[in-house]
Amino acid sequence: MSGMHGGGSPRSRVSRGDVEAQRAQNAEAPPIPNLLRRILGLFAPHRAALGVTIVLVLIGAALSVLPPLLTQRAFDEGLFPPGGTPNLERLAFLVGMMIAVYLGSVLLGVWQTWQTATVGNTVMGALRVRLFTHLQAMELSFFTRTKTGVIQSRLQNDVGGVASVLTNTISSVLGNVVTVIAAFVAMLLLNWQLTIVAVVLMPILVIAQRRVGQVRARIASKTQESLSDMTAITQETLSVSGILLSKSFTRQDTEIRRYADENDNQIRLQVSQQMSGQWFFAMVSIFLSSIPAIVYLVAGSLMANGTADITPGTIVAFTTVQARLLFPLLGLMRVALDLQTSSALFARIFQYLDLVPAIGDAPEAQAAPAAGPDVGRVEFAGVTFRYPDAAADSRPTLDNVSFTIEPGQFAAFVGPSGAGKTTVSYLIPRFYEASAGRVLFSGVDVRELEQKSLVSHIGIVSQETYLFHATIAENLRYARPDATDAELEAAARAANIHGTIASFPDGYATVVGERGYRLSGGEKQRIAIARVLLKNPEVLILDEATSALDSISERVVQEALDTASRGRTTIAIAHRLSTVVAADVIFVVDGGRIVERGRHAELLAANGVYARLYSEQITFPSPSRPVAD
């Protein structure tokens, strides 16, 4: 497209230094405390459900330490009472209590799992929608400089990667903390000397866990970057355009190797991520599993020396409590590791959410005028524009451009490739912000208008028509979801496409395929025109809408465009000058400036840039192509 900067193959790697999002991708993860505050903030709308979850977790954790205490009483009061004869009545009561506790714990556990899964997945879904909504608000330049696959990876891989943290963290932390505290208190009540033996090495384990977590966080960050690259390769290569390109140049083997290489990198990172910390947890398990044996040895020594009054029930209860301490401690350590690992993922998500759109509505923004003598007027007043990533000392794409297009006029912008024609069409709907000067729509500076309202008054038909993988009717109703079948047909007739649609076996229910590849170029363009006619905008922008068509398709589409332009301000960005000879005014753009303006005959008589371009096209016309439709 003319006026675009930085060209390059769409399949080449984008420099991370040029893309805000990819700079964020490589940034250091925020400190864990700040990250935790932001994660907890995600749960704010679910306080009530979260409160129920917390109560369930606390009750369940408290119940989990009752069985060991009941076990001690069963041994000392039921099986081996002071009299020596088992007290079956007391034993039956204690066993019944233990079964009741187990049953209550299971029921609470099921309820808690449902509650945490519901809250966690709701939060995750809201986070994904929030990220998608924020991306919708980003300016056009963000998407022109960021791979689609990278954006998809943020929505799918990154948000999906933190799912377990969102669904399990709060309940796991609360439950395990309460269980650990309750178990520790129970152990102290049973015997303080044995408690010291059981927990003496815990600080060392905490320090080791922190080191392991830092390693896993670094690996997780690299893993997500690799997933982003894989998603980008998939999106580029397996799209219809990508498949056509690779088949046209017989580069399938290259693409397979490219994907396989990144896949090998992903496998290596996944194995590293899975294995990091395994030796740590193995040592923790060995240590905690060995404590009962050490407890037996220490208890025997204390009893032999007469320094502690320890009963068999105390030893059984203590080791039971200590065994129950094993899994909560491991759970807390795993949660801590998960948080450290997920910090990289959360950082990537929050850094996207923290990106501020370069273009937004002013606090006092107003709706675009819908009536009055100025509706449909487009004016540039001393507009200068330089693309955001252009060098500061480079020539601006548009340099002090001024013009006025009156309501209902047909205006054309012509000139050499790269002159800045398409950039004009980007500034009118405020897809980009003028670096200097003013762009006025219906007599109002576009910066004073609500962008959504502004765009609702503008229809755009570009050279690269985009159709969804849906029916023709659904693609048309993208402009007006409430349009009736009769209105669809009227728009299609005006766009010279109704007869073609009616000839399809499924008519308007015909599925057009990915990007409309089941249709010819001319058919896609006419459907796009019909879609714009349904919108019925005051201003119509045609961005080289026929330049990619053969001569017959161009004539049919041009007739549809002529119909679409009647009664509305029309701005045509044209490469083929034959399509704009009847324009009310032609602006000739060269080097970012308007060097000539006037009607076709006037510009030919001036014998300037326009006359030269027209002469070249007459002398060397575009070769005729086979009929596409």
pLDDT of the residue at 201: 62
| Structure confidence at residue 23 as a pLDDT band (50, 70, 90) | very low
| Whether pLDDT at 194 is above 70 | yes
Per-chain mean pLDDT for the chain: 79
Q: What is the CATH number of domain 376-457+540-629?
A: 3.40.50.300
- Of 462 and 21, the structure prediction assigns the larger pLDDT to 462
Q: Give the whole-angstrom CA distance, residue 485 versus residue 482.
A: 10
pLDDT 10s digits, 118-150? 888 888 888 888 888 888 888 888 887 777 777
- Of 405 and 71, the structure prediction assigns the larger pLDDT to 405
Q: Tell me which residue of 170, 148, 151 sits closest to 159, measured CA to CA.
A: 151
Q: Tell me which residue of 168, 175, 188 sits closest to 105, measured CA to CA.
A: 175
pLDDT 10s digits, 559-601? 777 777 788 899 989 888 888 888 999 999 998 999 999 999 9
- Of 342 and 90, the structure prediction assigns the larger pLDDT to 90
- Of 340 and 409, the structure prediction assigns the larger pLDDT to 409
Residues carrying CATH 3.40.50.300, the chain: 376-457+540-629, 463-536
- Of 109 and 341, the structure prediction assigns the larger pLDDT to 109
CB distance 115 to 52 below 8 Å: yes
Tokens read off for 311: 């009963």
pLDDT of the residue at 12: 36
AA letter at 11: R
pLDDT 10s digits, 52-65? 888 887 787 777 77
| Whether pLDDT at 405 is above 60 | yes
Tokens read off for 38: 């932001």
Q: Is the dihedral of CA 527, 530, 532, 534 positive or negative?
A: negative
- Provide mean pLDDT across the span 276-297: 71
Q: Tell me which residue of 34, 361, 21, 64 sits closest to 224, measured CA to CA.
A: 21
Share of the chain above pLDDT 70, in %: 80
Q: Is the dihedral of CA 476, 481, 486, 487 positive or negative?
A: negative
Secondary structure class of 442 (helix, strand, coil):
coil
Question: Domain 463-536: what homologous superfamily?
Answer: P-loop containing nucleotide triphosphate hydrolases (3.40.50.300)
Q: Tell me which residue of 196, 198, 177 sits closest to 64, measured CA to CA.
A: 177
pLDDT of the residue at 548: 55
Cα–Cα distances in angstroms (integers) from residue 170 to residues 5, 109, 183, 251, in the given order: 48, 14, 20, 49
| Whether pLDDT at 602 is above 90 | yes
Residues carrying CATH 1.20.1560.10, the chain: 35-353
pLDDT 10s digits, 446-468? 999 999 999 999 988 887 788 88
The CATH label, of 3.30.420.40, 1.10.3720.10, 3.60.15.10, 1.20.1560.10, for the domain at 35-353 is 1.20.1560.10
pLDDT of the residue at 352: 86
Q: Give the whole-angstrom CA distance, residue 575 versus residue 579.
A: 9
pLDDT 10s digits, 44-91? 888 888 888 888 877 877 777 777 778 878 888 878 887 778 888 888
Tokens read off for 47: 């306080």
Q: Give the whole-angstrom CA distance, residue 230 versus residue 206.
A: 36
Tokens read off for 63: 């119940």
Tokens read off for 237: 């290569």
Cα–Cα distances in angstroms (integers) from residue 585 to residues 581, 602, 617, in the given order: 9, 10, 20
AA letter at 510: T
Share of the chain above pLDDT 90, in %: 19
pLDDT of the residue at 1: 39
DSSP label of 308: S
pLDDT 10s digits, 368-396? 988 888 899 999 999 999 988 777 778 89
Query: Is 0.75 topped by the overall pTM?
Result: no
pLDDT of the residue at 385: 93
pLDDT of the residue at 247: 65
| Whether pLDDT at 337 is above 50 | yes
| Whether pLDDT at 261 is above 50 | yes
What is the CB neighbour count within 10 angstroms for residue 591? 15
pLDDT 10s digits, 506-520? 999 999 887 777 888
- The answer to which of 32-41, 303-312, 619-628 has the lowest mean pLDDT is 619-628
Burial 349-383 (b: 16+ CB within 10 A, else e): bbbbbebeeebebeeebeebbeeeeebbbbbbeeb
Tokens read off for 117: 């899964």
